[in-house]
Chains A and B, each alone.
Chain A
Amino acid sequence: IAGITQAPTSQILAAGRRMTLRCTQDMRHNAMYWYRQDLGLGLRLIHYSNTAGTTGKGEVPDGYSVSRANTDDFPLTLASAVPSQTSVYFCASSTSGEEGKYFGPGTRLTVL
């Protein structure tokens, strides 16, 4: 693994289903983030984690949950998907003291 990986690359999901987007980084970065990107709205922060064992809410957290059991993994869960969660989801990470983010390749999610 080099950098940040995300899985799946894309997914079509029926409304009401549960879905977990996976994110793994091998750079030993303390901080990890989940963003969604929608046309015309830019990147919006969903949840973040400044260090393993802690998480926080971003700008658009409703309908999403995260966990940070270790440094490398930061999964994002949609408990019951709705069509408005159709988006491209990016995981990102950064080191302490550096605010610039390194982004994963993204997951394109379509909720029907």
Chain B
Amino acid sequence: QKEVEQNSGPLSVPEGAIASLNCTYSDRGSQSFFWYRQYSGKSPELIMSIYSNGDKEDGRFTAQLNKASQYVSLLIRDSQPSDSATYLCAVSSGSARQLTFGSGTQLTVLP
């Protein structure tokens, strides 16, 4: 059984701070990693993808991947109240490349 684990939170950070969201996965053969943002009552929205070890930056978002530790994280710099949402980690593995999702971390950015 492939597992993706996230701290469910809630995680609260003040406006302007860095929010750090973490995810671990069980399948060492996992190849692709994704972060989705989901606002309450809305559908998930893909915000970051990462495929190789290291950091990948896109605006205020940085995804970090460490395959040896089976760990992927998302950093949100200069957090804004509009970043308040649930963040879902997803991992792709196997020949069918199906995604396995974590249960999500709820982030609240306090004004």
Say whether A associates with B.
yes
Number of interface residues of A (CB under 8 A): 19
Q: Which of B21-74 contact A (CB under 8 A)?
A: 32, 34, 42-46, 49
Instruction: Evaluate contact between B98 and A104: CB separation under 8 angstroms.
Output: no
Residues of A with C-beta under 8 A to B8: 40
Q: Which of B4, B99, B102, B103 contacts A101, CB < 8 Å?
A: B99
Q: Which of A41, A58, A99 contacts B103, CB < 8 Å?
A: A41
Would you call the interface of chain B mostly helix, strand, loop, or mixed?
Answer: strand
Q: B46: nearest residue on chain A (CB-CB)? A: A100
Q: How far is the CB of B69 from chain A (nearest CB, A)?
A: 22
| A99-B32 in contact given A42-B103, A106-B43 (Cβ < 8 Å) | yes
Binding site for B on A (CB under 8 A): 35, 40-45, 48, 56, 58, 90, 99-106
